[in-house]
Amino acid sequence: MFEQSISTLAKQLKNKDISSVELTQAFLKRISTLDSQLNSYITVSDELALQQAKAADALLQNGQGTSLTGIPVAHKDLFCTQGTLTTCGSKMLNNFIPPYESTVTSRIQQAGAVMLGKTNMDEFAMGSSNENSFYGAVKNPWNLTAVPGGSSGGSAAAIAAGLAVAATGTDTGGSIRQPASFCGITGLKPTYGRVSRFGMIAYASSLDQGGPMAKSAEDCAHLMQAMAGFDEKDSTSSEIASEDYLANINAPLAGLKIGLPKEYFGDGLDAQVAETIMNAVKEFEKLGAIVKEISLPNLQLSIPSYYVIAPSEASSNLSRFDGVRFGHRCDDPKDLLDMYMRSRAEGFGQEVQKRIMVGTYALSEGYYDAYYLKAQKIRRLIKEDFVNALNEVDVIMGPVAPTTAFELGSKTNDPVAMYLEDIYTLSVNLAGIPAMSVPAGFVNNMPVGLQIMGNYFAEAKLLNVAHQYQQHTDWHLQTPEMAKGA
């Protein structure tokens, strides 16, 4: 039951082989049994889940609903959920119960899905290991001493361990793809503007994008059917109509042009990970794809560019957490300044404070041109690289991360090593294109994700490519030991 795809579960629900209440109860029970090992949930919303399951059963009883009706899913704790604690992984929002629902969670709810709870994450989505959570680190189901990746580590771990059928994540610099890679699941970061950011607590507004995380590309497509589309409440959301993400998922790949950027296979990439990725590429060749080497010359510049733009936006976005209207306020403030300083010093963790300071510095008078403007120029170069490359090929493939999941604590004292984790994912956000992580094998029993990048609004294409690969491989069907037999 915990390894079934959305399509299978939807069929069982429709045929009344199982009810949503039964399914939901089973998942809730499994969470209470297994999640103490993983810490993938910050909040489990039992009561609400059962209410929603009942409502879903009523719909199903009448033969109504969508493929998501009655399916238990989880949401990254960065999507505001009306009446349910939304912490963003921070002490700052330890008491924050939103009076409104994000567009993404609202649409998934409208489609009839059941919310099991809110998943753990790096504080304010800042991190690549899920070690920056006020609610404690998340463990990787494949190795409980390894990180699940971040920042959507809770969602990735929960899916890998069968604690949710699917989940939402957000990706600002790799936060869907890298944990998907580390936990052996499938994740899609859509084109910037494809999925509404309304009700998503902002980290870096020009880079943030919500997306689906699930066991397979097909499951991701089911979620996209609900999530994607224009939202008048988000001015940056695209008015281009969203596609039917399932319609062409079975299209054959013969003639597909795949570009392999040589910069993605240089120094710093683990040799066994490289080999795994190349094996996956060979699989595509067997399916009729044509592979050619391409170049994305400004890849190296994505790290400095990202680590100026994202903190700059974050420094402004996080100003609203001032202890005045919501969130943490220090005890007995002496005066206004004392309230600001202590509330923020107590409420924000170290990484968040660091990025606020970096961003504040980069935007300061006298530094703005040298940092922020320069970073924006680099961003344009990176975007041009992708546009040029995607004129030649249909999709670009490479690794998601240079290594498999690393040991907990191994990089916490080396921020540069931690930032280098994102080398293959950041540029996608800077360019705004969509990209996926698809399970492609194992190195020392730890999953490796293949990254598939595509043109603007080519999500359906990416899902098709990934789905065809998954029709011929079973990497995405593997289950970690801790999740077996429970």
Partner 1 sequence: MNWEVVIGLEIHTQLTTKSKLFSGAAVGFGAEANTQTTLVDLGMPGALPVFNKEALRMAVMFGHAVNAEIGMTSVFARKNYFYPDLPKGYQTSQMDHPIVGEGYLDVTLDDGTTSRVGITRAHLEEDAGKSLHEDFQGMTGIDLNRSSTPLLEIVSEPDIRSAKEAVAYVKMIHSIVTYLGICDGNMAEGSMRCDINLSLRPKGQKEYGTRTEIKNVNSFRFIEKAIYTEIERQMDILEDGGRIIQETRLYDPEKNETRSMRSKEDANDYRYFPCPDLLPIVLTQDYVDEIKSTLPELPSQKAKRFQEEHKLSEYDAGVLSSSRAMADYFENANKIAKDAKLTANWVMGELSKQLNQEQLEINQAPVSAENFGQLLIRIKDNTINGKTAKDVFQGMWQGEGSADEIIEAKGLKQVTDTGAIEAMIQEILDANTAQVEQYRAAEPDKQKKMIGFFVGQVMKASQGKANPGIVNPILAKMLKG
If the CB atoms of residues 324 and 477 are measured against partner 1, the closer one turns out to be: 324
First to last CA, the chain: 11
Interface residues with partner 1 (CB under 8 A) are 79-80, 86, 88, 93, 96, 98-100, 102, 197-202, 204-206, 232-236, 312-313, 315-316, 318-322, 324-326, 336, 340, 360, 363-365, 368, 372
CB nearer to partner 1: give 321 or 424.
321
Minimum gap (Å) between residue 42 Cβ and partner 1: 15
- Closest separation between CB of residue 234 and partner 1, Å? 5
How many angstroms separate the CA atoms of 134 and 45, rounded? 19
Does the annotation mark 175 as catalytic?
Answer: yes
DSSP 371: I
Least distance in angstroms from the C-beta of 386 to partner 1: 20
Among the options 128, 151, 155, 216, which is catalytic? 151
Is the CB of 100 or the CB of 300 nearer to partner 1?
A: 100
C-alpha dist (Å) from residue 251 to 58, 451, 462: 35, 20, 11
Residue 383 annotated as catalytic: no
CB of 227 to partner 1, least distance (A): 15
Whole-number Å distance between alpha carbons of 280 and 473: 9
Q: Considering 90, 155, 175, 343, which one is annotated as catalytic?
A: 175
Within 10 A of 274 (CB to CB), how many other CB atoms are there? 18
Q: Token pair of 443, please?
A: 């190195």
Cβ 160 vs Cβ 486: under 8 Å: no
Beta bridge partners of 304: none
The answer to whether 462 and 435 are in contact (CB under 8 A) is yes
The whole-angstrom separation of Cα 220 and Cα 333 is 47
**In this structure, is the dihedral angle defined by the CA atoms of residues 35, 40, 42 and 45, taken in order, positive or negative?**
negative
Structure tokens at 116: 């099991």
- Shortest distance in whole angstroms from residue 190 CB to partner 1: 17
Q: What single letter denotes the amino acid at residue 75?
A: H
- Closest CB to partner 1 among residues 58, 97: 97
The one catalytic residue in 5, 40, 76, 128 is 76
Judged by beta carbon, residue 55 or residue 363, the one nearer partner 1 is 363
Within 286-394, strands assigned E span 290-294
Amino acid present at 358? V
Of 52 and 170, CB closest to partner 1:
170
Question: Residue 454 Cβ, how far from partner 1 at the closest point, in Å?
Answer: 23
Whole-angstrom Cα distance, residue 34 to residue 315?
A: 37
* Pairing relationship of beta strands 290-294 and 446-453 according to DSSP bridges: unpaired
Could you list the active site residues? Answer: 76, 151, 175
